[in-house]
A and B are shown apart, each in its own frame.
Chain A
Amino acid sequence: MKKIKLLGYLFILPAITAMLFVHIIPMGWGIIISFRDLTIRNIRNWTSAPVIGLKNYFSAFNNNVSTISQRYKQSLWNILIYGFFTISIGFLVALGVALILNKPFLGRTFVRGLILIPYITPDSVAFNFWRFIFQNRIGILNEMMLRIGMIKEPIMWLVGRNTLTAVIIASIWKGWPLTSLMLLAGLQTIPQSVYEAAKIDGASVWQSFKYITIPYLKPVIKTIMIMNILWNFHAYNQFRVLFGSNPGIHAEVPNTLIMREAFEHYNYGLGSALSVILMLIMLSITLIYLYFFRFRKED
């Protein structure tokens, strides 16, 4: 019995070692250097960087300490707005399409395969062609909108005030198929007999959607939402590809700001503090979510 237990450890040992070096130690390191004034001057010998306590953290929020705070607060606000629209609109599209694809029709398998295309397209490719689509003068989006009379003049999508809208549109396009796929899998677990029984009892389409479909989908929806909310904070590729390393104030998100602060301005300590704050925000959102929806593992 004892030998078997040891064998279990042996199997997970390589993965644990890898994760220790890759996740646990660097995370601790990141937290430690967030209390230091680590810059290009002392990066090679980080222990010599002066300990400055919470100064980096104050810089993040106090306008009097540094100029970065305004930008950082704006970036947090932007990622919330971005997440709210990307997740909610993406979810509605995904749910609508999943409901449609759950109905029998000619060529259903084929269409189901096709809708996965945005999901499997590599990020860099997808956001690069969206960048082309959004071009002011030569892009197809402005051209189409002009032709049907939605706008009078070409819109500047990639500079200024419309940048956040542009990145939301592209991200919805890229993100909804996975959600739809998961909802579709959930829909297929609902037995048809339940709908038939409801119909005999005189339930309308809306009533069977509200009282059968939604309750059955609830566990899947919870998983989708928590995943989307957390992944939302990982968003970097779409901003980097569409706008370059500096998206401008209207589309600045914490990830782009931290990357510039660390690797263009070489303030590694400050960058670490900003990412620790981001982690704490993610952690609290997760905990609040878990508390309100009592996320249990249904095994």
Chain B
Amino acid sequence: MTKRTPLQNVLFYFVIIVILFFVLGPYCWMISSSFKTSIEIQGMNPTWIPQTLTLDNYIEMNNTVPIFTYFKNSIIVSGGTMIFSLILSTLAAYGISRFRFKGRNLYVVILMATQMLPGILFVIPYFMLFTWIKSNLGIPMTNTFQGLIFTYTSFALPFSILMLRNYLDSVPKSIDEQALIDGCTRFQALYKIIIPLAKPGLAAMGIYSFIMGWNEILFATILTGTKTKTIALGLLQYITQNQARWGQMMAACMFATLPIIIAFTAYQKHIVQGLVAGATKG
């Protein structure tokens, strides 16, 4: 490694600080604004440090918009998406990773291709499909949690399966075979041996699908109603034609970021590995 001269060192750290400012600046602005009074926010010449610190925005944010309810809705939808896509993609990934069957490669290609289709192509047919299910099968789908979970699970599946397949490929096959010889069935081998070994991969994938559900706006716009509105849409309600409650919105933004930050810090290593593997191998 080449040694840097003191001048180069100063320059080097200066560049790092510039990068960090670009990355964190908008974040700091959100945090600082969430503690400002609404009078200060509406005033000219905004400053980075609040002139008077206040918790009003955090106290008031649920009175303006039922953000706690939306938060709960999002937890249900994203959590449900996470559970279902975990189950389905573990089975599918195990199938692709352990068995050689006709159409296996075709299936993998289809999985890759579906990731590329524009979501907008599905919005109108879904709307029709959900209307059709309701009038013919009597199961309500729009404005229900099951409708959203169904949608998000299927959109999380292709990437999850491919990512998990990569992970399972790295677990030696001989482990399964040993378990089979010891008298386990295939499902027991998967459940008792492979799943515990693949925990990091499963964690990364679970969080990926959770975040997907948390972020989604396109389908949520069409498929949710007053009862099931998710937090991503709820945040938009702070700004109306008549009033812009930026302070409260920033407070609600902080609140909406919380679960993602917690999940990410807990599993950062797995997520980073999983993303890089999924991206470089796919």
Contacts and interface: CB of A to CB of B under 8 A. Distances in A.
B181 interface: no
Given A111-B20, A113-B268, A123-B232, A259 B120 contact: yes
Interface string A96-118: 01001001110000010111111
Contacts of B117: 23, 27, 279, 282
Interface string B63-90: 0000000000000000000000001110
Contacts of A105: 12-13, 16
B232 A124 contact: yes
A246 interface: no
Give the interface size class of chain B.
Answer: 35 or more
A26 B118 CA distance: 12
A223 interface: yes
| Majority DSSP secondary structure for residues of B touching A | helix
Contact of A132 (B23, B116, B121, B250): B250
Contact of A16 (B12, B107, B135, B256): B107
Given A133-B26, A182-B280, A27 B125 contact: yes
B160 to A, nearest CB: 9
SS class of chain A's interface: helix, strand, loop or mixed? helix
B174 interface: no
B282 interface: yes
Interface string A1-40: 0001101111110111011011101110110010000000
Contacts of B24: 114, 117
Given A26-B125, A115-B23, A125 B99 contact: no
Interface stretch (A58-66, A81-89, A268-276): A268-276
Contacts of A255: 118-120, 218
A282 B150 contact: no
B225 interface: no
Interface string B94-126: 111011111010010010001111111111111
Interface string B130-153: 010001000000000000001101
Contacts, number: 257
Contact of B99 (A4, A116, A259, A282): A4
B128 A43 contact: yes
Contacts of B188: none
Interface string B208-219: 000100110110
A234 B153 CA distance: 18
A143 interface: yes
Interface string B249-282: 1100100110011001000100010011001101
B92 A130 contact: no
A19 B113 CA distance: 12
